[in-house]
Structure 1
């Protein structure tokens, strides 16, 4: 088995992502691995984009990006601190695709992600980033279900 040197942890900053963060930090400590924290800003659907003036859309996207960087800084400070070597990244796109791209770019040995545990109609309508990752990733994916589900 290949040693774990780099762990990619993807977060949406929600409370339900915290158990996965705890696992990612713990595994990074055990393995002496570097932790890469990733947040993906979901793109606006094309239908909504066409209704917004391009200049307004650009300003809105920039404001969302600025807020995401601030949230990432707070999240890493509050939940990771200096416990493990850590880098962070904020990107825009489809979450599962961007997570796979980032995992490839940093040659991640493991991807850790939380799962909301949706079922039934909600799962069909909302979908699951974690499920898409597990199905498409050539790298190991550890999914951690949120505590409240």
Structure 2
């Protein structure tokens, strides 16, 4: 059914729930996971701030470590990818480049003003534009923590 699953992560609780789903699906399907963290360089000035980018890359490595560890627990191979760009565009590009059959990603579940202020959700944009199926997983219990 699935040979390759893209699992974008930002290290949040919503991402952690998606990672568990992706690992379980990959184990059942004997698939590989492409773990992806995107350093968002669409924020004005971030490209000029080396320390901010380095901090985000370090956060990304920690998030990718968590996916790798989850993959090891489920005996699933994980390939790690750290990219820079607009998050939803990089996820869509990665899905095409790595020829994945499914994208499994977390959602913060924002509504109303919070969603408006964040200019829509990354998950929503990916769902709208993806050429492959997208499984969104919401964090369970309580408020969602941003990493």
Q: TM-score, normalised by structure 1?
A: 0.84
SS at match of 1:142: strand
Q: Does 1:11 align with 2:3?
A: no
Give matches, 1:15-94, under 5 Å: 15-43=13-41, 45-46=43-44, 48=45, 54=48, 57-65=49-57, 67-68=58-59, 70-81=61-72, 83-94=75-86
Distance 1:120 1:61, change over 3 A: same
> Is the Cα–Cα contact under 8 Å of residues 36 and 88 in structure 1 kept in the other structure?
yes
Distance 1:44 1:134, change over 3 A: closer
How many matched pairs? Answer: 140
C-alpha offsets along residues 98-147 of structure 1, whole Å, 9 cap, x if unaligned? 00000000110000000110000101111201100110111100001111
Structure 1 gaps of 5+ residues are none
SS at match of 2:72: coil
Q: Does 1:135 align with 2:128?
A: yes
More deviation, 120-129/75-84: 75-84
Structure 2 gaps of 5+ residues are none
Larger radius of gyration: 1
